[in-house]
Amino acid sequence: MAIAEVRPKLALVVDDSMLIRYTICRFLEDAGFVVETATNGLEALEMLATLEPDIVITDIQMPKMSGVELITVLKSDLRTAKIPIIALSSLKCGTKGPAEDARADFSILKDIDIESQLKTTLEAALG
């Protein structure tokens, strides 16, 4: 009888802030994820040519290619359209901003409570 190999979940974190990338990566690695990072949407798209992440977490405002543009490309490509996407936003609750218009599956705020928000959102996104 063959034993099924269980691969760890793969996350792609896209943010131009080194501090945010570090915080999210540390949280995800502690939760058992393998994590790859990119600093902007263009870099993420290059990586997605060879990666098949279980989830993408992206900032909305970045240089070269914004998170809104990245999400639009991912959702329009059959290969990546079903990947859950979490948009990171600096806007306060109740403020309609780019994250709500980006077609992301989930949105969280960049604030002191980011790890708690990540935990709740990951459970909703991946079960």
5 is a domain residue: no
75 is a domain residue: yes
15 is a domain residue: yes
117 is a domain residue: yes
Q: What is the pLDDT of residues 97-110, one digit of tens each?
A: 444 545 788 888 78
Alpha carbon distance 116, 56 (integer Å) = 17
What is the arithmetic mean of pLDDT over 31-56?
Answer: 94
111 is a domain residue: yes
Range of the domain at 108: 10-126
Stronger pLDDT, 96 or 60, i.e. the higher one: 60
3 is a domain residue: no
In a 3-state reduction of DSSP, which class is residue 82? coil
pTM for the model: 0.83
Residue 113 has pLDDT above 60, yes or no: yes
2 is a domain residue: no
pLDDT at 91: 62
Helices and strands, counts by H and E, the chain = 5, 5
pLDDT at 57: 94
Q: What is the pLDDT of residues 5-35, one digit of tens each?
A: 678 899 999 999 998 899 999 999 999 999 9
DSSP per residue over 29-40, as a string?
Answer: HHTT-EEEEESS
38 is a domain residue: yes
Q: Tell me the CATH number at 107.
A: 3.40.50.2300
Q: What is the pLDDT of residues 65-95, one digit of tens each?
A: 888 899 999 999 999 999 999 998 876 544 4
Q: Number of structural domains, the chain?
A: 1
